[in-house]
Amino acid sequence: MKAIYILWFRQIKRYSRSKARIIGSLGQPLLFLVALGFGFGPIYTKAGGGNYIQFLAPGIIAMSILFTATFAGIEVLWDRQFGFLKEILVAPVSRVEIMIGRTLGGATVAVVQGVIVFCLSLIIGFHPTNLTLLPLALLYMGLIAIMFTALGTAIACVIEDMQGFQLIINFLIMPTFFLSGALFPMESLPKAVRFIAAINPLAYGVDALRGILVHGAHLGLITDFTVLTSAAVAIMVLGSYLFSRMQV
């Protein structure tokens, strides 16, 4: 357990030192909030959808967590390249504990990013319907972060170069984001697209955040929790297996 805590806080400390990285990672969510929120807002309102920023903000919060969490896996490649990972692996600690510690550290950073984006959305005009439910929102944000941090780490375990990692991550997370219902309602889309969204775990995270923050859930919070928890555990198990077999 001690190794888990050490690696957990090491990941947080490592990220907090990079102020440019923190600021840079806020650029895309802020752009989506402003450009789409105010650009498509009038159209969404005329179509009878209500306030678009109210609909959009939970999805952008989930997006910021998704991007930060998955790219946390690149730390594995950095540590492998500079030899630090080999020093960790020769320590008398199981690789499963190392995987858990790194995942929790990256997930914590991703949740902090989500909280920052939430605060920015308040400035832009987002108004949560019930602030007392924010701790519940943090729980779902944590599940999203753990799931995608573990996914990024699992991918990094089987890829050896930075360019390949970034290409694969972008190939995965862009469809995951756009087919999650973060930017538009999924109910009126073709059945094939809705089926893809139904097997997209981020869609359940977006639905949960929207349900908690603006009472706009369609799938149900229990269903969202069950799917997110199951997916997070499954990916953690897969990531632990790949990490235990990784060659350095």
How many angstroms separate the CA atoms of 230 and 53, rounded? 30
The residue ranges of every structural domain in the chain are: 2-244
pTM summary value: 0.88
| Predicted confidence (pLDDT) at residue 19 exceeds the cutoff of 80 | no
Tell me, what's the pLDDT at 141?
95
What is the residue-averaged pLDDT of the chain?
82
How many angstroms separate the CA atoms of 190 and 97, rounded? 43
| Predicted confidence (pLDDT) at residue 133 exceeds the cutoff of 70 | yes
Asked whether the beta carbons of 38 and 75 are under 8 A apart, the reply is no
| Predicted confidence (pLDDT) at residue 8 exceeds the cutoff of 80 | no
Categorize the per-residue pLDDT at 226 as very low, low, confident or very high, splitting at 50, 70 and 90. Answer: very high
Tens-digit pLDDT profile for residues 158-214: 887 777 788 888 888 888 998 888 888 877 778 888 888 888 999 999 999 999 998
How many angstroms separate the CA atoms of 17 and 38, rounded? 33
Of the listed ranges 10-14, 66-70, 92-96, the least confidently predicted one is 10-14
| Predicted confidence (pLDDT) at residue 131 exceeds the cutoff of 70 | yes
The residue written with tokens 């790219």 in the block is: 71
Crossing angle of the two packed helices 95-124 and 2-16, in degrees rounded to 10: 40
Categorize the per-residue pLDDT at 66 as very low, low, confident or very high, splitting at 50, 70 and 90. Answer: very high
Asked whether the beta carbons of 148 and 234 are under 8 A apart, the reply is no
Average pLDDT of 211-237?
Answer: 89
Categorize the per-residue pLDDT at 239 as very low, low, confident or very high, splitting at 50, 70 and 90. Answer: confident
Tell me, what's the pLDDT at 139?
94
